[in-house]
Amino acid sequence: MRKKTLVITGATKGIGKAIAEKFAQNGVDIAFTYNSNSAVADELVKSWESEYGIKARAYPLNILEPTEFKPLFEAIDKDFSRVDFFVSNAMIYGRPVVGGYGKFMRLKPRGLNNIYTATVNAFVLGSQEAAKRMQKVGGGSIVTMSSTGNLIYIDNYAGHGTNKAAVEAMSRYAAVELGEMGIRVNAVSGGPIDTDALKAFTNYEEVKAETIKRSALDRMGSPEDIAGSVYFLCTPEAGWITGQTIVVDGGTTFR
């Protein structure tokens, strides 16, 4: 894994940060995006380079603007000689999801469309650009982040849950068509993970309590729980795994 390159969207906090750090710990160079906080991104670059001896670079990206993906990868090309792994992780919450986060009868096109753009479009466009570069080095691995909210009912989660189901389906199509390039494509579907994004939910405390109640392990999931699974899917040990969704949920979906 050493001296290979990971491209990951949204890695300044939460799950994305944990994933990037897991790869950095194993000698993988990191190209990651951030939405607006360049100061935090710059600190992570310095920290990972100093602590793990890898190369790291940060790039601004608004995942609601599909045209930004091509120039993003062109900028990455200037800093890195190869792309081996792509993780589509960045998500949106707050004002952009108004109309997409709520009860079924309150869902609105703008919010739903924004969630689709940030979930499915971002995966497609990022994967297309990454695949072109992976093909040049003989293959690679793509992972998209999903959620068990497309398997079980979560209050106010219809907009997100249905789009996570869509991105899982898209990843299976990508797996078939990119396989001939030596590129594997999988999804990691997490149960509720204790992050700032989850804390933004109006019913966070209720979700947290219910998750702990349902979990066979009697705890919430952490970003590190997800990071380990994403990393595994990119290693040679997962060399015959493609087109799959790996559920990482502490047993919450079967209780």
**204-222 pLDDT tens trace:** 787 778 778 888 888 888 8
Whether pLDDT at 71 is above 70: yes
Please give the pLDDT value at position 85: 98
pLDDT, the chain, mean: 93
pLDDT score for 127: 98
Q: Give the Cα separation of 122 and 82 in Å (integer).
A: 21
Q: What is the pTM of this model?
A: 0.94
CB 186 within 8 Å of CB 246: yes
What are the pLDDT digits (tens) for 30-59?
Answer: 999 999 899 999 999 999 999 999 999 999
- Identify which has the larger pLDDT, 151 or 94: 151
Neighbours of 134 (CB within 10 A): 26
pLDDT at 200 exceeding the cut of 70: no
Residue for token pair 């392990």:
217
Q: Token digits for 27?
A: 């000698």
Q: What is the mean pLDDT of residues 107-126?
A: 97
Catalytic residues: 157, 164
**DSSP 8-state assignment for residue 216:** T
pLDDT for residue 138: 97
Asked whether residue 231 carries a pLDDT value surpassing 80, the answer given is: yes
Q: Give the model's pLDDT for residue 194.
A: 75
The pLDDT value given to residue 255 = 64
pLDDT at 76 over 90: yes
Residue written as tokens 């939910």?
Answer: 201
2's CB contacts (< 8 A; 6+ apart) are 26, 27, 28
Give 162's DSSP letter.
H
**Measured between alpha carbons, how far is residue 31 from residues 27, 34, 60, 87, 212 in Å?**
13, 10, 11, 11, 34
Domains of the chain are 5-254 (3.40.50.720)
Q: What angle do CA 131, 135, 140 make, to 5 degrees?
A: 70
